[in-house]
Structure 1
Amino acid sequence: MPSWTLLTGRLALGASLALATSVLASTAFAQATSETMLKDRKITIGFANQAPWGFKGEDGEATGFHPDLVRAAFKPLGVEKIELVIAEFGALIPALAAKRVDIVASGLAINPQRCKQVIFSEPDLAVGDGVLVAKGNPLNIHSYADVVANSQIRMGGGRGSSNTQNALDAGIPSSQMTLFQDVGASVSALTAKRVDAVTMSIGSLIAVMQSPNLKDVERAMPFKPFIKPNGQPALNYAALAFRPADTELRDLYNKRLAEMRNDGTLAKIMEKYGFSPTAEMAPPAIKAAELCQG
């Protein structure tokens, strides 16, 4: 049986001190982390119990995209046991800083603010907006531009979400946009035909599609991401997070990630959890260091 621990936001109380300690840790400690992991054949991962990123399966084991990726990366190196720590999303980085976990594996997006607290692996996923439509995509929606071009299309989205803002920034008039309190309400509106399409994050869309009761909707594929004014696509790049001192462990994982990208393992795990390798695999040219610079 797996070993489970539930953490709460209380971890954040000591996060600053723990983080300072980890930042000042020596290179020798970083080497010891990976060496100890390989010697003990054990690693501890933290995740937020959210599908499809990482969640507790019916068998009690951690499942999901990132836990599976960690297993695939380290099992060939002799790491046979993965200890699991469930935490609130906001408590994951404090748990890492406090050395309660070795890796955060929960769909964490790379951004400059987080890069001040952790070091990231190279990105594995490029996650943008997903659009849910009626079965067969009868209105042929493959971009926000398609909605702009057809004033009869009614788009739904979460109130205050970045996905909804992307749709509005792409030029969809507010008169064509209906705002909802949460994903469940927007999906209900779609199935009731009160809207023709709903925008949400790819992760949320995949989780919605796992419901056995949803039979008359599908993901709009392909779907072109919104291009921001700076010319860059509106994408979040997901990766694993490590303590700043654990550069050797991070580098070891990056080497395995490159191998899994080349041998097809990464694509298989993506497909298992509803991600499209052609649409959502992060390009090798996109580097964590550059994303940390914004």
Structure 2
Amino acid sequence: MSSSPIALVTGASSGIGQASAISLAAAGWTVIGAARRLDRLEPLRAKGVTPHVLDVSDDRSMVALVDDVIADHGRIDVLVNNAGYSVFGAVEDVPVEVARRQLEVNVLGLSRMSQLVLPHMRAAGSGRIINIASVAGRVSEPLGGWYHASKYAVEALSDAMRMELAPHGVTVSIIEPGAIRTEFGGIAAESLAEYSGSGAYAGQARRMARAHEQMFGSAAADVDVVVDAIVHAATARRPRARYQVPASAKAMVAATKVVPARVMDAAMGRMFGTHRA
């Protein structure tokens, strides 16, 4: 059994999950990095992260992961629920089975992972769950309805869990990244082309894809700002309920509280080129 704190990070094969797993390991944590593809996790061994296969849409896979970690280490101190992906396209265009998969992975997978670790955390009287949501869970864009729906749901579930778990010594923090330099822009562009690249929303989809590629390109914030928030939530004596990073994400969320919906809609339309000519 390890004397160092134990962190389980899902979606650790790339992006935010990979960077946070490496950072926690460098800080002396015992880190289990989980994702669907073991080959993409193997390079993390050299960084002190133990790879483990995980599919958050497969209950047996999730149960096996938690059972293995408990058997090996006796506890889980922090769960970073990072596994997820994005589907973009008009609500009308995205097939319902694709939308269902989006919610299955981003919402139910996160919830089930939390269900599996919580009995161990409650028994210990301590533990932290860190849910990677998004500024997309506070502010909606056009042609992103299903992705936004999944992130809004993560926000609501996290708020409920935070209150439920407070008497048991378990904290829940939400990380709300904004524009971070990752593969997100390219993935969104591909999704937009697939589901709304032709038909009534084709023009909007093309403009939206260009806007996303710019937003998540060189001008976006480095992933380190998100990693710093995750590490703070994992280690601070009193972690925050929410971390909005970078500063532009905090400003956008603040604007929604004071700007009328009609004005916000117009601003989004200009930003993403989806306003009516």
TM bucket normalised to smaller: 0.3 to 0.5
Higher helix content, 1 or 2? 2
| Bigger RCO of structures 1 and 2 (CA < 8 A, at least 6 apart) | 1
Higher strand content, 1 or 2? 1
